[in-house]
Amino acid sequence: LPCASQFFENIPLGRRLLIFSSPPPSPPLPFSLLWTYQSTLMDSNGSGGKLDNERSVGMAQVIPSGTNLELTQDILDSLNVAQASDDNMKNLADIGGIEGLCARMSLNTKTGLTDAQVEAYRERFGPNVFPEKPMKSFLQLFIEAFDDTTLIILIVAAFVSLIVGSYEDPNKGWIEGMAILVAVLLVSVVTALNDYQKEKQFRDLERNSEALERCSVIRNGEMIRINPDMLVVGDVVSLKSGDGIPADGVLFEGSGVKCNESALTGEPDDLKKDFFKDPFFLSSCEVTDTGTSGDAKVVCIGIGKESQWGKIKANLTSEASNTPLQDKLDDMVELIGKGGGGAAVLTFIALIAMIWLKHGGKEPWTHVIEAFIIAVTIVVVAIPEGLPLAVTISLSYSSGQMLREGNLIRQLQACETMGNATNICTDKTGTLTENRMTIVEGMFGGVHISQEAFESTNPTALMKGDFAYNCALNSNVFLQDKDETGKAYDRPKVVGSATEGAMVLLLRKWGIDYQALRDTYFSTSRDMQFPFNSTKKRSTVILCDFPEGGDKVKLLCKGASEVILEDCAYYADENGDAQELTPEKKAEFLSLIDQMAGRALRTLAIAHKNYKDLNKIPADYRTDPPDGSDLVLDAIVGIIDPLRSDVKEAVKTAQGAGVMVRMVTGDNIITARAIAEQCGILTGSGETLTKEKFEQIKNDPAALDKLLPNVAAIEGPVYRNLTPAQADLVLGRVQVMARSSPDDKYLMVTRLNGHGLPSNQKEWETLHPGRDYATEKDKFLPGYKDEWKATRPNGGQVVGVTGDGTNDAPALKASDVGLSMGITGTKVAQNASDVVITDDKFSSIVRAILWGRSVYDNIRRFLQFQLTVNVVALLLVFIGSVAGFPPPLNAVMMLWVNLIMDTMGALALGTEKPTPVLLLRQPYLRDAPLVSKPMWRNILFQSAYQLVLLLVLLFMGTDFFGNEFLRGDYCLNWEVGNPNKLKDITTLGTEIMAGSSNSTETGMALNQLGYYPDTKCGDFYKICGESNNGVCYQNLFADISHFEDDCLENCAKTDYDYRHFTIIFNAFVWCQIFNEFNARQIKNDPNILAGITGSKMFLFVIIVTVLFQIFIVEVGGDWVRTTHIKFEYWIWSIIMGFFSIPIGFIMRFCPIWNEEDEDSFFGYVMPS
């Protein structure tokens, strides 16, 4: 032990590394004694300092000789018991702490696992794949489909019809009831298929999201990015602020690290992680702060189903929920259902009345059952279940297409909401620009190097010194030269901040190894690292034992150029010596910053400060770095980030669609304005309101109120100090917010859409502690709910917000649609968002608007189509029943029509592709009616035509087509009856056929009476049979008055003839088929075939509908009550349906209701 202690003491401070061997994974080396490095900080004289408990992994750990070092799942489980951190710590100590754990894994924490170890551990402990809750089987969904009140009632009625019909007519009486059951079965199958598809779509969305995830892991001595599914036990994972935790692990490097575990444990507050109380990280949670470390490094101990999240995930899988549009349509379904219910009740009453008015009260229960079935079927048809289904189908189709175009939809409602977005608050870097930052200009050692000269500049001693140290050590970025498959990138991939990436790329260009500088000069156990702070606009590193020069402590700082410059008292000259920063020199540097900003360069200041030793630095340096004064300015660099090639056109398109694009950036206002002008965001001249200008006029309300409506560009510190009323004046015009913080973005979003505003005094006082609500409620942003509503009678704006950082999460949550970045975005930002822009492009956001509008219009297309079918079907059945006809559309026919409307109509019209014309209109108001005036016009025109056509066929079809086939149904229901009957016709017929009655005498008696008692057409067939009915007819019926010869002749042919109502049914369906083409246009465009060749699903549905209609008419028979009709009557049916097309053409030129209400729109006209 003394030898080991002496060994570590002889290692130079800052070089004391815990080094483990990395033999093959099995068997592990039999370590008997392991030590951590000493964690005592030494001052410049070598005297001992206090123990840094947070940064070290613990004191020396002694593992008894002979201990079994085999790593098993039981050991890993003992370290990862839910809600038992104390027991987990004890079990970790029992195996020798993190050192003992790493020994059992044969893990070198500096180089990570080898490829051989990865494969071995994956084989032993499994992959990092989480179990899923099993999807409901189709059979389960099919059974659940019957859990519908109307279907249950229809099934009961069908069984009653089946039983009664079988009793009255054993040969065919059962057919109607059985046909209804078959139709219900088909409806249930389709419903189950749709539910299955909806669940599958929801899970596909989750899988797509997971497939895009990446985490940083050290393997084979290199930092690489992999999908979390590829992690194994023993992997060393690097986690930064905002990262999601991909597996359960143990912290071994990091200081001041905090995690949010609310997703797993429900604990809302961030929890501090350290080596002595709680070093355990839990998958599915998030790292919210890495404290004074660039990152936190953990060793994976629980993956996949063995992690705490994996053990409960199977029972916590989220279920799909309705979108706002689906909820709105559910309300409409309920309203239409009530109307259909009323129609069903009236039809039922009419049919009951016909029992006595037409049938003389005979067989009342049979007629009651028929009336009940028709009424229930009307309810089934009237309830447009297809409306929410259309939303599901359209969203499913659209979300799949959007993923191919760079938009991963995490929340389905975002797809439809995005279509009516009125504002897009976008970041600059990576969204408007390529995120390929390059340093092209700068000031080093007080000397300006232009863009022309920069390319050939050789680095000076200063550039290789403090500037290089700052670039390498004051950053967490790393460069990746190969992808996951080993293929080399054309350009090194920057993993981390693009700005920091530009700095390390410059070092590489100069031949400086940034990683070697980190390994040489930075120690996570000793030095402090403070990531970028959006409030202070800087990031800082404190090196506590810097070996170069006389000073042992070096503070390195970089950040917003004018902000850092304000805190500088010196600047480094060409030799690297500190010179006083005079007002003249400061003005020179400020002018240079403005010049570079005017060239659309992002400027960054690099500075440092030296201390002799730790005794000279402020005592609280570990939590509050002294980086706000007396800095030495080393350099000011200009970084170019080229605009994306498609951004100008995308911005122009969005503005043409009535969407106000606002750029919210941390750049200074000159750079921001220059870039906004380049990409077309800034339209018109507009004023620029800087902090200095605001300070000059803030006490002049008249001047301020005159200026604010014309402000096109504003600084964040100015905006946050405006009153709510003043902010509203600015928001009507402003297109650029520079030097903004995440809070400024949040204040802008909440003021635009009203989300998250205080709704009462208590909430306001919580937001503004120490302020007086009564006198100051109108002075501070974001305002309050009542005041905000009073100034917005049409409601708030629909706001889409882009974000990539952890601090953007509040603004993303407050927005109507949060758009996180798939490449540069943190896990926190992505979890707070509704859409992940997988390619980080602004043009992808515009495509999301296009698809959102397409979804909205597709739903309206389907709504227009379905309401027409509903109106015609319900009125036709009701009028026919009141007029004394059997229902022109029986129960099975209506169920088929319901299938056409719901599933097939939703498929046909819910999958129309978007067209650029959708971006030529303004967004709709939040509460704009789904059915516009032009749509109502189209519905009424088509309904009127179809209803008139079908009623003509019902009442006058025999006169139009003749008796050849239309008299069958008439005769079937025609009867002669008299209460003073002689004998029942069936009894009389039996006597005649048996020879016990003289047919001639009977015929004479009937002739004298002039009627045939209690007789229906079908009874003639029963008496006379299939042969010799001509003789039978002549003997018994030829001279009987009031009995029509046509009916007798037709009755001789068959018991039933359905051709009359078959023609009505066929014409009705063909009207719907052709009207489906009309429904493709919901406004005044008469070109209903526009883009038809690209609508493959529409054409497929039309073909399938036609084929099924032919099958049902020709083969349906007694099941559907249809019969074969001649080819020429098929042509007539098609022609009658086709007339829906010219009617649709004419109606679009009708001056009535030909334009939508202007009040339905809610967009912007861009300033010019």
Look at residue 428 and give its three-state secondary structure.
coil
User: Which residues fall within 8 angstroms of residue 12, CB to CB, at 6 or more apart?
Assistant: none
Residue 8 predicted with pLDDT over 50 = no
Q: Are strands 799-803 and 736-738 parallel, antiparallel or unpaired?
A: unpaired
The residue with greater pLDDT, 581 or 68, is: 581
E strand spans, 37-168: 40-42, 48-51
Percent with pLDDT over 90 in the chain = 35
Position 393 scores a pLDDT of 75
pTM score over 0.75: no
Residue 152 predicted with pLDDT over 70 = yes
User: How far, in Å, CA of 453 to CA of 945, rounded?
Assistant: 78
Residue 1010 predicted with pLDDT over 70 = no
The residue with greater pLDDT, 1028 or 661, is: 661
Confidence of residue 586 (pLDDT cuts 50, 70, 90): very high
Position 21 scores a pLDDT of 32
Residue 1031 predicted with pLDDT over 70 = no
Indicate the angle between helix axes 1017-1024 and 985-994, nearest 10 degrees. 20
Residue 41 predicted with pLDDT over 70 = no
**What are the tokens at 216?**
């940083």
The residue with greater pLDDT, 393 or 1071, is: 1071
Is-cis flag, bond preceding 709, omega within 30?
A: no
- Which helix (H) or strand (E) element contains residue 438? strand 438-444
Mean pLDDT of 328-347: 76
- Mean pLDDT is lowest, of 113-117, 125-129, 424-428, 524-528, for 524-528
Residue 653 predicted with pLDDT over 90 = yes
Position 1004 scores a pLDDT of 42
For the stretch 894-916, pLDDT in tens is: 777 777 766 788 888 888 989 99
Confidence of residue 883 (pLDDT cuts 50, 70, 90): confident
User: How far, in Å, CA of 182 to CA of 152, rounded?
Assistant: 14
For the stretch 455-501, pLDDT in tens is: 888 888 888 899 999 999 999 888 988 877 778 888 888 888 889 99
Position 290 scores a pLDDT of 85
The residue with greater pLDDT, 159 or 237, is: 237
- Mean pLDDT is lowest, of 43-52, 189-198, 595-604, 1063-1072, for 43-52
DSSP 923: P
- Scan for tokens 């950082």, then name that residue: 805
Mean pLDDT of 803-807: 74
User: How far, in Å, CA of 194 to CA of 592, rounded?
Assistant: 63
Residue 1055 predicted with pLDDT over 50 = no
Confidence of residue 1005 (pLDDT cuts 50, 70, 90): very low
For the stretch 761-774, pLDDT in tens is: 999 999 999 999 99
- Scan for tokens 């004051």, then name that residue: 474
User: How far, in Å, CA of 467 to CA of 444, rounded?
Assistant: 9
For the stretch 590-628, pLDDT in tens is: 999 999 999 989 999 999 999 999 999 998 888 889 999
E strand spans, 963-1039: 975-976, 1015-1016
Mean pLDDT of 932-936: 91
Residue 211 predicted with pLDDT over 80 = no
Position 205 scores a pLDDT of 64
Is-cis flag, bond preceding 27, omega within 30?
A: yes
Structural contact between residues 418 and 859, judged by C-beta atoms closer than 8 angstroms: no
Mean pLDDT of 820-838: 81
Which pairs count as long-range contacts for 39-44, CB under 8 Å and 24+ apart, including other chains? Answer: 39/525, 41/526, 41/544, 41/614, 42/13, 42/545, 43/613, 43/614, 43/615, 44/552, 44/612, 44/613, 44/614, 44/615
**What are the tokens at 289?**
């702060």
- Mean pLDDT is lowest, of 709-713, 984-988, 1042-1046, for 984-988
- Scan for tokens 């802008």, then name that residue: 748
Look at residue 260 and give its three-state secondary structure.
strand
User: How far, in Å, CA of 1006 to CA of 1000, rounded?
Assistant: 10
How confident is the prediction for the chain on average, in pLDDT?
A: 80
Mean pLDDT of 744-752: 93
Position 147 scores a pLDDT of 79
Confidence of residue 682 (pLDDT cuts 50, 70, 90): very high
Position 13 scores a pLDDT of 30
**What are the tokens at 1024?**
């006379």
Mean pLDDT of 571-594: 93
- Mean pLDDT is lowest, of 173-187, 513-527, 821-835, for 173-187
User: Which residues fall within 8 angstroms of residue 287, CB to CB, at 6 or more apart?
Assistant: 239, 240, 241, 242, 243, 244, 245, 257, 258, 259, 281, 296
Position 311 scores a pLDDT of 78
What are the backbone angles phi and psi of residue 1048, rounded to the nearest 5°?
Answer: -65, -40
What are the backbone angles phi and psi of residue 879, rounded to the nearest 5°?
Answer: -65, -45
Top-ranked range on mean pLDDT: pick from 167-176, 740-749, 797-806: 740-749
Residue 1037 predicted with pLDDT over 90 = no
Position 302 scores a pLDDT of 92
User: How far, in Å, CA of 532 to CA of 288, rounded?
Assistant: 13
Mean pLDDT of 880-887: 76
Confidence of residue 388 (pLDDT cuts 50, 70, 90): low
What are the C-alpha distances in Å from 911 to residues 200, 580, 1095, 1101? 18, 69, 8, 11
Confidence of residue 377 (pLDDT cuts 50, 70, 90): low
Residue 149 predicted with pLDDT over 70 = no
- Which helix (H) or strand (E) element contains residue 803? strand 799-803
Residue 867 predicted with pLDDT over 70 = yes
Mean pLDDT of 406-419: 82
Position 986 scores a pLDDT of 43
- Mean pLDDT is lowest, of 588-592, 691-695, 886-890, 1153-1157, for 886-890
DSSP 467: I
User: How far, in Å, CA of 380 to CA of 377, rounded?
Assistant: 5
The residue with greater pLDDT, 27 or 381, is: 381
Confidence of residue 385 (pLDDT cuts 50, 70, 90): low
Position 173 scores a pLDDT of 61
Position 697 scores a pLDDT of 92
For the stretch 444-467, pLDDT in tens is: 989 999 998 998 888 888 888 999
- Scan for tokens 């259309």, then name that residue: 390
Position 968 scores a pLDDT of 45
Position 535 scores a pLDDT of 81
Position 1072 scores a pLDDT of 93
- Which helix (H) or strand (E) element contains residue 524? none
Confidence of residue 201 (pLDDT cuts 50, 70, 90): low
- Mean pLDDT is lowest, of 13-27, 232-246, 272-286, 765-779, for 13-27
Position 572 scores a pLDDT of 94
User: Which residues fall within 8 angstroms of residue 354, CB to CB, at 6 or more apart?
Assistant: 367, 881, 884
Classify residue 782 by burial, with Cβ atoms within 10 Å: 0-12, 13-18, 19+. Answer: buried
Position 153 scores a pLDDT of 67
**What are the tokens at 495?**
């993993």
Position 384 scores a pLDDT of 64
- Rg (Cα) of the chain, in Å, rounded? 40
Catalytic residues: 427
**DSSP letters spanning 526-555:** T-EEEEEETTTTEEEEEETT--SSS-SEEE
What are the C-alpha distances in Å from 586 to residues 441, 603, 608? 18, 15, 17
Position 59 scores a pLDDT of 29
**What are the tokens at 228?**
């979390």
- Which helix (H) or strand (E) element contains residue 296? strand 296-302
